[in-house]
Amino acid sequence: MLNEEAKKAMLRKIPHGLYICGVKDGDEVNGFTASWVMQASFQPPLVVNCVNTKSISHAMVQASQVFALSVLEAGQKDMAQKFFKPQRRVGNKFEDVEFYLGETGCPIIADSLGYVECRVVGSVAQGDHTVFVGEVIAAGVHREGEPLLLESTGWQYGG
């Protein structure tokens, strides 16, 4: 029998970084704070990104088959919080955030440690998230620094 409290406690101990996932569909762009992200392969370079199936961004990744992950720096909690809100409630999240479009056409946060851009090469739809497997097709470093970790924010996403 599954102990719900133990499950939550243990799943919340899995460390997560915080990223801004930039997505596009045609000329429309969006971004969201992603935390269920990890490297999955060296050759080819693959990244796993889990996206909530009810989000606008999920539909955009499915349509375009691309996404970009901007790595936030420790101390950029406010930036992460800005992108947690659904687009339908807040409108243009990029309004006062400097960004540029990468090779995929996805938005990349200029004030981040750097980024990877991915082309979706596979996906698994299970539960309330889809696991998108992206092949890294472009990457860049903006500056050195320590990444923002979910545990450092006091927030919980998981369990």
Domain extent listing, the chain? 4-153
Residue count of the chain: 159
- The two tokens of residue 77 are 């909690």
Look at residues 68, 36, 74, 67 and name the one whose alpha carbon lies nearest to residue 52. Answer: 36
Fold adopted by 4-153 = Pnp Oxidase; Chain A (2.30.110)
DSSP 67-111: EEEEEPBTT-HHHHHHTTS-HHHH--TTTTS-EEE-TTS-EEESS
| pTM for the full predicted model | 0.90
Per-residue pLDDT in tens (0 to 9) along the chain, 159 residues: 889 889 888 887 788 899 999 999 999 999 999 999 999 999 999 999 999 999 999 999 999 999 999 999 999 999 999 898 665 544 567 888 999 999 999 999 999 999 999 999 999 999 999 999 999 999 999 999 999 998 888 776 654
